[in-house]
Amino acid sequence: MSLFAMPSLGADMEKGKLVEWLIKPGDHVSKGDVVAVVETQKGAIEIEIFEAGTVAEVLAEPGQTLPVGAPLARLLSTDEAGVEAVVETTTIERHVKTTVPAAGPEAKPAAFPESFPPSSKPLPSAPARVVASPAARLRAAELGIALDTIAGSGPDDAVLLSDVEHRLQDRSMPVPKPAQDERPHAKPGLDMAEMRRAIAAAMIRSKREIPHYYLSHEIDLETARTWLAATNAALVPDRRLLMGALLARATVRALGKVPELNGRYEGDPYVPSAPVHCGLAVAMRGGGLIAPAILDAQDMDTNAIMEAMRDIVARSRTGRLRNSEITKGTITISSLGETGVDALFGVIYPPQVALVGFGSPRLKPMLRDSTIKPGLAVTVTLAGDHRVSDGRRGAVFLAEIDRLLQEPEHP
C-alpha cells in the first residue's frame, strides 16, 4: 500500500489546491496516467501518477488547499489489489452460506438484508467520462457546452480544441450562455499576483544560491533563413516552421558537446542529465511567465520540436500542463521573438544549471566576401552555473549552437 501525496511542483511551492479528481476508488491506474488537477501559482497542473496500482481510497476533496506532502489518495499495488479482491470475495461467499438456507421441501426464498431492499429498477451506471484534450475541456467549460454534445475528431474520438470551436460556429445547435457570474478571466490557476510572487521567490533563490556567469555571442542567421524559406514553401501554413524551432533544436544538439550544462543540481556530486527536457519560457496573456519542458527533446527533429512548441504554448495559455513538464526541466530557453530587444540576459531557473537567451533576430551590416551587406543576425546569451561549468566551456557551447545553425538541413 502506498500514499499518493500533494506533489512539489517547484522549490517555491508550499501548497496546492485540489481542483478535480479524474479517478475514483476501484480504478486501475498506470504509471504516467493523469489522476488529478491541482492549482498552484504556476497555473492549473494535471498531476500524473508514477506507479501502477488500484485506487483504494481518496483522502482529499476537490476545493481543499493542502501542503506539499499531504496525502491525497491511498493506492494498492497490483498484488495487494488481488489479495484484497480475494478476501472480499471470500467474505461475500461466507455471508451467503450463512444467510441462504439449503434447498429442500421446506426451503423458502432467502430474504434480502434490510439495508439492501430489492428493486425492479436497474441500478444507474456512472456516466462515462468524455475523452477530451485539456484545452478543449477548459474551453468547453468557459462556453458552457457539454462535452458529450461535441463530436470528437482526435484519437479514439477524443474532443479537441478545434472541435469545440467548430461546435461554437455550428449555428444549427444552440450554445448555452455562461452564467452571469462567470468571468472569462477567472480561470483556475491564472492568478497573476500569485504567479508573480512565485517567479520572484524562484529568482531570489537563484541569485542567492547560484554563482552565475554570463556570455553572449552574435550568430549569422542568413543560411538558416534561406533554408527556412525554402522548406516552408512546400508546407501548408499551419505546418510551417518558425526560426524559434531551429534555435531550440540547435541548443538541444549543442548540449551533446557540453553535457554538463544539461541537468539539475540536486545532489553532490552533480550528475548531468542524459535526456534533455528543454524548458521553454512562455509569456502568459495578461502577464506572468511559465517555463514548461519539452520532454526528451534530444530525440526530436526540427519538425517534432516545432509541433511540441505549438502544443506546449497552447496548453500553457489556454489549457493545462502536466506536473512532469513543470518539474523535470534540465535547461531553459527564453526567446524574445520578433518584437523584443537585441539581447536577453536571463536568471537560471533552479535547480537547473543553465539558461539560454535569444534576442530578436535583426538585419545588421555584415561583412561577406570583403563587402558589407545586410544580413539577419541574433544575439544568443548563456547564464551558466559556475559550480558545474565555466566561461571556457560556455563559449564552446555557444560556438556549437552557431555551427549547427549554419547547417540547418541536418535534423
> Residue 285: what are its φ and ψ, rounded to 5°?
-65, 130
pLDDT over 90 (residue 400): yes
Q: Is 185 helix (H, G, I), strand (E, B) or coil?
A: coil
CA atoms of 85 and 170, how far apart (whole Å): 48
Tens-digit pLDDT profile for residues 64-75: 999 988 999 999
The pTM score is: 0.69
pLDDT band at 90 (very low <50, low <70, confident <90, very high): very low
Find all residues with CB under 8 Å of 103, minimum gap 6, and list them: none
pLDDT over 90 (residue 136): no
Q: What is the mean pLDDT of residues 397-411?
A: 93
Tens-digit pLDDT profile for residues 172-217: 555 555 444 443 334 444 566 777 777 888 889 999 999 999 999 9
| CATH class label, 192-405 | alpha beta
Closest CA to 350 of 247, 201, 248: 201
pLDDT score, position 241:
95
Q: Where are the domains of the chain?
A: 2-76, 192-405
Tens-digit pLDDT profile for residues 22-37: 999 999 999 889 999 8
Domain 2-76 has CATH 3.30.479.30: no
Tens-digit pLDDT profile for residues 264-291: 999 889 999 999 999 999 887 766 788 9
